[in-house]
Amino acid sequence: MLPDWFHAFPATPDKIVLPDLFTCPFCYTPHPLAAAAARQVQDYLSTRPDWAAELAEGKMFGVLVVKTGSGQLGFVAAFSGNIGGKGQHNYFVPPIFDITAPNGYFRTEERSISELNRQIAALESSTALRQTEERLLLMRRQAEEELGRFATLAKQHKAERDALRQQNLTAEKESELIRQSQFEKAERKRIERRWAAQMAEVEAEAAGIRSEIERLKKLRQQQSEELQTWLFNQYVVLNARGERKTVARIFADERGTEPPAATGECAAPKLLQAAFANGFKPVAMAEFWWGKSPEGEVRHHGAFYPACHSKCEPLLNFMLQGLGVEPNPLRKQAATELRIIYNDQWIAAIDKPAGLPSVPGKEHKVSAYSIAREMFPDASGPLMVHRLDMDTSGILLIAKTEAVFKTLQRQFATRAVKKRYVAVLDGLLKDESGTIDLPLRPDINDRPRQMVDYEHGKKAVTRFSVIARTGCRTFVNFYPETGRTHQLRVHAAHQLGLGCPIIGDNLYGSSAERLMLHAAGISFTHPVTGVETVIEAEVPFEIG
């Protein structure tokens, strides 16, 4: 008997061809059946007004097209995290491990930690601590005032003694002045000791409360770490070969680290776990966002997104073993021929193709740098003056000497270098031009994604102007005034920016044949000749 969270398709058109390989979860275009399944889930969500407020805040959902053991085609669905405080709802697959069971170990320990939080908060806001701290503050102020008055008087007495010493004093009078000076020094120390003793008594009262707060915080940290370790050993996931592994072991083996919080609660691993546990064959998968975008992140209502790297990548790498999976196009080797578009004795400029990293990485040994090193064997400089995202094509400057490299680096640092990018946006902009000012920082829970953060982000400014509009696309020039990672991509896609992701942006928009972003122009002062130098690179995709 099939579980009630298995959903058969009403009818599967004959013209839909099932994929030969399973979806690459990190870069994909949804298969038509996965898109159809997503629409059915979205229709179901509209029938749950009790969830409306929560879903309006935003949540990731996933669908997995499967074949049952008898060959029936259908799909299963999942959500990330919980809905309504629960991890289990009839329409969706069960969680890998249900932490929401009210009387389970996790909830019991969680309540214990919550009680510690309550005790810490009560002590930190207690009247006793507040009063002792206020008394200490008052005593310090009174001590400073008394010592200040004493210092003023002592200074006056010293001036009087200095004036008397200008006269012919007897030895007895000189001794009297010395005794007066010594007395005042000793009196100052007595005042300081008196206040120190009084404050030490009050400080001891406050220290006792603070010590209890610190003890409770250490206990809370210990219990939290033990609970997290226990939890990740309860998440046991399956792969296509029928093998089992805990989430803790998977991260230890692949990354040598502990899993991030909430690992195993995302939609993708829930879907695969349910399929493998019930003997279903995974056919295709897709994840979509429902609701408003989280503050700082780029998420569009109803849009499809790849699985996250921080929590899901190690799990999915294990779970998909034994299943034929589409190759990740992000790891596809790009063209390795670099066209030289400018070259002199000191500087060169190359036209980097999309898909080629600027410098070598863990997964990419061949890069623009390694190729340029072969193209310019006599160059003594570090070569790469700046970088482009792997998926961005266009102009890269090459410095052939150390001195030229440093000069160009200074020009970049002082924003003397002017750059122009051409992009194709998914959507129609109303404004003809403008400026985007959104500070950026890395999303530590999903690298390499970036997010907007007004408190901790670095300033990022981009000017833009529209070139043309066609259908539902806008062609723009971007003029970045800063050079943050993924700056143009986030500024284009974010709701506080243009709200129109760049075509082919698999991180902040949707996948396509390539990222439609090209570094088309750059201008700078030549480090040797002093001539204003302008370099242009032909745009490799159609404009307008």
CA 284 to chain centre: 28
Q: 3-state DSSP call for residue 136?
A: helix
d(CA 344, CA 531): 13
Active-site residues, by number, are 389
DSSP 148-194: HHHHHHHHHHHHHHHHHTTS---HHHHHHHHHHHHHHHHHHHHHHHH
Tokens representing 261 are 């919080």
Show Cβ contacts of residue 248 under 8 Å, excluding neighbours closer than 6 positions: 229, 232, 233, 235, 258, 259
* Lookup result for tokens 């996931």: 237
Pairing relationship of beta strands 418-426 and 517-525 according to DSSP bridges? antiparallel
Residue 44 and residue 74: Cα distance in Å, rounded?
A: 16
DSSP run (H or E) holding 225: helix 171-234
What is the C-alpha separation between 55 and 49, in angstroms, rounded?
Answer: 10
DSSP state of 205: H
Side chain identity at residue 374, one-letter code: E
Specify whether the CB–CB gap between 383 and 441 falls below 8 A.
no
Distances (CA, A) of 9 to 37, 261, 440: 8, 35, 43
Structure tokens, 439:
């500070």
DSSP one-letter string for 378-413:
T--S-EESS---TT-EEEEEEESSHHHHHHHHHHHH
Per-residue burial over 35-45, b = 16 or more CB atoms within 10 Å of its CB, e = otherwise: bbbbeebeeeb
Phi, psi of 462 (to 5 degrees): -135, 130
Burial of 363 (0-12, 13-18, 19+ CB in 10 A): exposed
User: Angle 171-234/127-164 helices, nearest 10 degrees?
Assistant: 160
3-state secondary structure at position 352: strand
The span from the CA of 319 to the CA of 64, in Å, is 14
Residue 387, CA distances (Å) to 7, 12, 393, 452, 487 in order: 47, 47, 11, 21, 13
In angstroms, the first-to-last Cα distance of the chain is 55
| 254/240 Cα distance (integer angstroms) | 18
